[in-house]
């Protein structure tokens, strides 16, 4: 094998990028996961599937071009383990490749349908002597419940060229050889004693002759062109020489005819084009990918005869991916080629007389893809108008992979979403060529990061910092150099330091995020997930700006263990320290249904109104009186001590009225409800003048309405009530000890407003108190207006707690027969009552309350 063939024997058509694109389409069209088959026999008959076995047969024969279909056996066969197989599904276009057909799982089951098979060995780009490539394809139909046997026949994918020299040609010159070249390929030298096939890429194939005359001078000139050499065909090109009066005539004979060139004295003596390289053509330049060489790599072109072409052939997979043409005539460029070549870095200044071609900048675009494609070749040949060619000048460049080693990976802090990776790279061009990509699993693609901070941290050491999408799953990252992957890594995530506090109510709990860094609160809260007793709990009332969440569905008086995380979708979840709490109980207010009773206002023979006469005679021997025997709810305070003060100076219903009492009718449930009334009262009521009838019909009551000093709204509440008739002052000691936090106060009511104030309403007032910083504070409160309702109607007073972690220490509950509540003076001014001589009382709005409960 020639040195040239050796260098290119490892080149391949598929670049790394191409291979990656193929593998992203890995067939998954088999029963389980695409073109990964399922071998279970139990699948037979359950789905439309059949088994598939594949074998390969190789045809080493080739057609002898121009011999009417004659065949020759080349003896070429693929080496063991070099035949790859690709299976394409007709549905979805997915595929899978086995690099060695021996790895194909024979006899396994596939969905019934059509599949395309491709088998190959070697590569037509790997030109050289005895370097055959093979290719075969077949379409196969997998039939349900049938065993399909498929045979893929491989045939030669190269055109095979052999140059044969007659004895006359061999003896005519000091030396004679042929240069064989395909489009974009290098120049292969065929010596006079070479009898092997040159395995070439099919297509246009050119042959030049390199003649060294007896005087030592050399002539190179184009001698023959095969316009279209086909695969699996052999082409024999015969070189003959015949002496003529004008000089030796060299004739190349082939399937496309004969081509002759006479080496006249003029032709021999004419100066052919000369190419002079700035490097030693015997050397291979080893260049780290992406780097510019330290010296200039250029070719000087000289010709005394005008040039007709200056052919540049480039065999380079990385440059091919960038769009660089495989072959281009620098003197006869097609439209747009000049701009493309210069953009890619080729510098040239040439015309028909010669010039310079400089590869230096272009070499900076070479990258390392695989070991098979590490060598690039740049061949330049000049041809003049008299038919002479220069010796080809070829530059071989081996791209050396730039190693990027990852020295440290820092976990991504969730909520900050900034990654840092420390790497080492010995190349000075690192900062100019490094890039970072992140894998987007949802879109199944790699996204390039446009903003990467690169900071030196030591000799040849760098810190790469870049933003990553939010989330909790690890981040797949790859570091690229000259757009080729040089490091692949997985960056784990971690939570920012935080803990939780839990404020347990009876059937729900508040969870509060406490970050070490307060500025992280909202970022943490936006991703917080709470676990209760090891199971994730749904979150309600999410106040993310405050870092507070609520968990519902808990049971009273029960212990629970809480923990929190920001992570999801990962196996190893990081949690905050656990917090164990016990929920509160669900106590009800004492005597909430008012069925437990205490003695209320009791009075026998209470005067009701003033005295009055029977007739017009002023004899005042009539006066009404009533007996009062009432009960009040046990464990509840009321205002009867004020409105029915036994210390009053004038005991009369005008001045003494109960404002709170139990009633048996109407009730909402069970036996009793409580009735509250707005009443007038006067602890120092003036004597009521006697009334003399003025004529018939006579009244059976005294119509005289005295002046009543005070009015009051009847109130029922938890706590204690004191009234001082001497000073007409009152003291409310509201509230009872309480250790749970209800969510609402609920009950049923009726309400009739006073005729004189139809806009009035009853009130239900709740306050829950607790200790905060040593002070008693209201932690929740609510008020409900109890509007006109002729029958029992449900009401609710919702309670909202805004002070996290403050437990209840007491509760206040009050009901009022009027919305005008305040001091005695304020109520006297605002509460409206209507005086009724028939009942000798002044009464306003009335409120009935029953079945008061707390919800949790």
Please give the Cα distance from 250 to 213 (Å, whole number). Answer: 13
Considering Cα of 440, then 443, then 446, then 449, what sign does the dihedral take?
A: negative
430: phi then psi, degrees, rounded to nearest 5: -55, -50
End-to-end Cα spacing for the chain: 91
Identify the pLDDT of residue 354. Answer: 97
pLDDT at residue 428 is higher than 90: no
- Supply the pTM of this predicted model: 0.67
Other C-beta atoms lying within 10 Å of the C-beta of residue 277: 16
Identify the pLDDT of residue 8. Answer: 33
Contact 313, 184 (CB under 8 A): yes
Please give the Cα distance from 13 to 660 (Å, whole number). Answer: 101
The residue-averaged pLDDT of 597-611 equals 98
pLDDT at residue 282 is higher than 50: yes
Identify the pLDDT of residue 429. Answer: 87
Identify the pLDDT of residue 37. Answer: 52
pLDDT at residue 19 is higher than 70: no
Please give the Cα distance from 119 to 140 (Å, whole number). Answer: 13
β-strand 71-73 against 61-64: which pairing, if any? antiparallel
pLDDT at residue 5 is higher than 50: no
What does the domain layout of the chain look like in residue ranges?
3-156, 160-269, 274-400, 405-494, 498-582, 597-855
pLDDT at residue 12 is higher than 80: no
Helices (H), ranges, 45-143: none
pLDDT at residue 16 is higher than 50: no
Q: How confident is the model at residue 760 (pLDDT cuts 50, 70, 90)?
A: very high
β-strand 841-855 against 744-752: which pairing, if any? antiparallel
pLDDT at residue 234 is higher than 60: yes
Identify the pLDDT of residue 535. Answer: 97
Pick the CATH number of 498-582 from 2.60.40.10, 3.30.365.10, 3.90.480.10, 3.40.50.150: 2.60.40.10
Please give the Cα distance from 291 to 432 (Å, whole number). Answer: 10
pLDDT at residue 18 is higher than 90: no
Residue 350: burial class (beta carbons within 10 Å; 0-12, 13-18, 19+): middle
Give exposure, 254-271, as e/b (b: 16+ Cβ within 10 Å): bebeebebebeeebbeee
Pick the CATH number of 405-494 from 2.60.40.10, 2.40.160.40, 1.10.10.10, 3.20.20.30: 2.60.40.10
Please give the Cα distance from 609 to 702 (Å, whole number). Answer: 6
pLDDT digits (tens, 9 = 90+) for 305-359: 999 999 999 999 999 999 999 999 999 999 999 999 999 999 999 999 999 999 9
pLDDT, averaged across the chain? 93
Q: 3-156 adopts what CATH topology? A: Immunoglobulin-like (2.60.40)
Which string of DSSP letters, residue by residue, matches 563-613? Answer: EEES--S-SS---PPPEEEE-------TTTTS-SEEEEEEEEEEEEEEEE-
Please give the Cα distance from 159 to 62 (Å, whole number). Answer: 9
Q: Which two tokens stand for residue 784?
A: 């409900």
CATH class as words, domain 274-400: mainly beta
The residue-averaged pLDDT of 826-838 equals 98
Which residue is associated with the tokens 């016990």?
582
Considering Cα of 526, then 530, then 535, then 540, what sign does the dihedral take?
A: negative
- Looking at the chain, the number of H-run helices and the number of E-run strands are 11, 63
| Residue whose C-alpha is closest to residue 547's, from 569, 579, 525, 565 | 525
Considering Cα of 700, then 703, then 709, then 710, what sign does the dihedral take?
A: positive
pLDDT digits (tens, 9 = 90+) for 186-209: 999 999 999 999 999 999 999 999
Identify the pLDDT of residue 90. Answer: 82
pLDDT at residue 32 is higher than 50: no
Q: Which two tokens stand for residue 551?
A: 């968990």
Contact 365, 319 (CB under 8 A): yes
pLDDT at residue 804 is higher than 50: yes
Give the 3-state secondary structure of residue 785.
strand
The residue-averaged pLDDT of 153-166 equals 98
Of 86-95, 271-280, 532-541, 633-642, which range is least confident? 86-95
825: phi then psi, degrees, rounded to nearest 5: -65, -40
Q: Which two tokens stand for residue 258?
A: 């004969």
Of 85-99, 157-171, 339-353, 443-457, which range is least confident? 85-99
Q: Which two tokens stand for residue 428?
A: 């000075």
Q: What share of the chain in percent tops pLDDT 90?
A: 91
Considering Cα of 547, then 552, then 554, then 555, what sign does the dihedral take?
A: positive
| Residue whose C-alpha is closest to residue 842's, from 683, 678, 710, 680 | 680
| Residue whose C-alpha is closest to residue 408's, from 394, 419, 423 | 423
Cα 397 to the chain's mean position, in Å? 43
Of 46-55, 410-419, 592-601, which range is least confident? 46-55
pLDDT digits (tens, 9 = 90+) for 73-128: 999 999 999 999 999 998 767 899 999 999 999 999 999 999 999 999 999 989 99
Residue 2: is the preceding peptide bond cis (ω within 30°)? no
Residue 164: burial class (beta carbons within 10 Å; 0-12, 13-18, 19+): middle
Identify the pLDDT of residue 147. Answer: 95
Contact 548, 524 (CB under 8 A): no
Report which listed range, 27-41, 367-381, 523-537, is most confident: 523-537
Give the 3-state secondary structure of residue 427.
coil
Contacts of 665 (CB under 8 A, 6+ apart): none
The residue-averaged pLDDT of 360-378 equals 93
β-strand 393-400 against 375-384: which pairing, if any? antiparallel
Identify the pLDDT of residue 21. Answer: 34
Which residue is associated with the tokens 């007491």?
810
Q: 597-855 adopts what CATH topology? A: Jelly Rolls (2.60.120)
Strands (E) located in 799-840: 808-816, 833-836
Please give the Cα distance from 433 to 401 (Å, whole number). Answer: 13
More confident: 12 or 535: 535
Q: How confident is the model at residue 372 (pLDDT cuts 50, 70, 90)?
A: confident
Identify the pLDDT of residue 94. Answer: 82
Please give the Cα distance from 439 to 485 (Å, whole number). Answer: 13
269: phi then psi, degrees, rounded to nearest 5: -80, -20
672: phi then psi, degrees, rounded to nearest 5: -135, 150
Identify the pLDDT of residue 448. Answer: 97
pLDDT digits (tens, 9 = 90+) for 674-725: 999 999 999 999 999 999 999 999 999 999 999 999 999 999 999 999 999 9
Please give the Cα distance from 140 to 135 (Å, whole number). Answer: 17
Contact 818, 785 (CB under 8 A): no
102 DSSP 8-state letter: G
């Amino acid at each position: 094998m020639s040195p040239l063939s050796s260098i290119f024997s490892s080149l391949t058509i598929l670049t790394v990028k191409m291979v990656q694109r193929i593998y992203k389409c890995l067939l998954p069209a088999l029963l389980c996961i695409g073109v990964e088959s399922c071998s279970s026999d139990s699948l037979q008959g359950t789905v439309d599937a059949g088994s598939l076995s594949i074998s390969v047969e190789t045809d080493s024969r080739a057609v002898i071009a121009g011999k009417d279909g004659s065949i020759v056996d080349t003896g070429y066969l693929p080496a063991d383990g070099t035949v790859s197989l690709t299976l394409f599904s007709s549905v979805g276009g997915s595929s899978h490749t086995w690099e060695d057909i021996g790895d194909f799982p024979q006899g396994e089951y596939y969905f019934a349908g059509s599949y395309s098979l491709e088998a190959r060995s070697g590569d037509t780009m790997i030109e050289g002597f005895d370097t055959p490539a093979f290719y075969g394809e077949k379409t196969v139909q997998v039939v349900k419940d049938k065993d399909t046997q498929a045979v893929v026949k491989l045939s030669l994918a190269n055109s095979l060229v052999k140059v044969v020299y007659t004895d006359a040609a061999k003896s005519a010159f000091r030396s004679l050889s042929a240069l064989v070249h395909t489009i974009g390929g290098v120049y292969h030298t065929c010596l006079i004693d070479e009898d092997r096939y040159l395995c070439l890429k099919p297509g246009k194939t050119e042959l030049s002759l390199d003649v060294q005359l007896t005087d030592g001078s050399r002539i190179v000139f184009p001698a023959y062109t095969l316009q279209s050499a086909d695969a699996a065909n052999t082409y024999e090109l015969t070189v003959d020489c015949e002496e003529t009066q004008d000089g030796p005539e060299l004739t190349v004979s082939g399937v496309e005819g004969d081509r002759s060139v006479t080496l006249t004295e003029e032709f021999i003596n004419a100066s052919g084009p000369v190419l002079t390289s700035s490097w030693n053509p015997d050397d291979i330049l080893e260049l780290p990918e992406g780097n510019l060489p330290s010296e200039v790599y250029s070719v000087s072109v000289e010709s005394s005869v005008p040039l007709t072409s200056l052919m540049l052939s480039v065999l380079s997979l990385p440059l091919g991916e960038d769009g660089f043409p495989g072959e281009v005539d620098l003197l006869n460029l097609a439209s747009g080629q000049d701009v493309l070549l210069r953009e890619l870095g080729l510098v040239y200044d040439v015309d028909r007389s010669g010039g310079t071609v400089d590869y230096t900048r272009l070499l900076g675009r070479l990258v390392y893809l695989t070991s098979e494609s590490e060598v690039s070749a740049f061949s330049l040949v000049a041809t003049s108008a008299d038919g002479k060619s220069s010796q080809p000048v070829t530059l071989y460049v081996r791209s050396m992979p730039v190693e990027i080693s990852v020295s440290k990976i820092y976990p991504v802090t969730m909520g900050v979403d900034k990654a840092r990776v420390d790497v080492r790279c010995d190349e000075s061009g690192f900062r100019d060529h490094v890039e970072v990509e992140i894998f987007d699993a949802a879109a199944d693609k790699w996204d390039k990061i446009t903003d990467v901070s690169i900071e030196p941290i030591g000799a040849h050491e760098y810190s790469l910092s870049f933003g990553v999408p939010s989330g909790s799953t690890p981040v797949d990252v790859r570091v690229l150099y000259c757009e080729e992957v040089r490091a692949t890594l997985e960056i784990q995530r971690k939570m920012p330091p935080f803990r939780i506090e839990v404020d347990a109510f009876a059937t729900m709990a508040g969870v509060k995020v406490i970050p070490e860094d307060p500025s992280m609160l909202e970022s943490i809260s936006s991703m917080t997930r709470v676990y209760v007793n090891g199971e994730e709990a749904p979150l309600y009332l999410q106040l993310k700006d405050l870092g507070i969440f609520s968990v519902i569905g808990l049971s009273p008086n029960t212990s629970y263990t809480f923990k929190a995380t920001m992570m999801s979708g990962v196996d190893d979840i990081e949690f905050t320290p656990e917090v164990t709490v016990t929920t509160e109980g669900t106590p009800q207010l004492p005597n909430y249904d008012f069925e437990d009773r205490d003695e209320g206002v009791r009075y026998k023979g209470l005067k009701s109104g003033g005295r009055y006469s029977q007739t017009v005679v002023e004899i005042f021997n009539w006066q009404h009186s009533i007996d009062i025997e009432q009960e009040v709810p046990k464990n509840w305070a009321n205002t009867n001590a004020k409105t029915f003060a036994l210390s009053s100076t004038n005991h009369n219903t005008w001045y003494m009225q109960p404002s709170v009492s139990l009633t048996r009718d109407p009730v909402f449930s069970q036996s009793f409800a409580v009735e509250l009334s707005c009443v007038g009262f006067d602890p120092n009521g003036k004597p009521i003048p006697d009334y003399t009838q003025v004529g018939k019909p006579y009244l059976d009551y005294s119509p005289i309405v005295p002046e009543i000093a005070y009015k009051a709204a009847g109130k029922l509440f938890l706590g204690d009530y004191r009234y001082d008739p001497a000073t007409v002052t009152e003291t409310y000691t509201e509230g009872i000890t309480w250790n749970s936090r209800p969510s609402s106060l609920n009950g049923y009511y009726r309400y009739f407003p006073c005729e004189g104030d139809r806009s009035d309403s009853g009130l239900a007032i709740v306050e829950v108190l607790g200790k905060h910083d040593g002070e008693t504070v209201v932690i929740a409160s609510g008020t409900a207006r109890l509007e006109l309702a002729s029958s029992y109607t449900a009401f609710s007073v919702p309670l909202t707690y805004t002070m996290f972690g403050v437990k209840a220490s007491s509760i206040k509950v009050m009901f009022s027969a009027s919305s005008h509540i305040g001091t005695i003076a304020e109520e006297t001014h605002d509460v409206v009552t209507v005086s009724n001589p028939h009942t000798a009382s002044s009464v306003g709005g009335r409120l009935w309350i029953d079945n008061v409960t707390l919800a949790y």
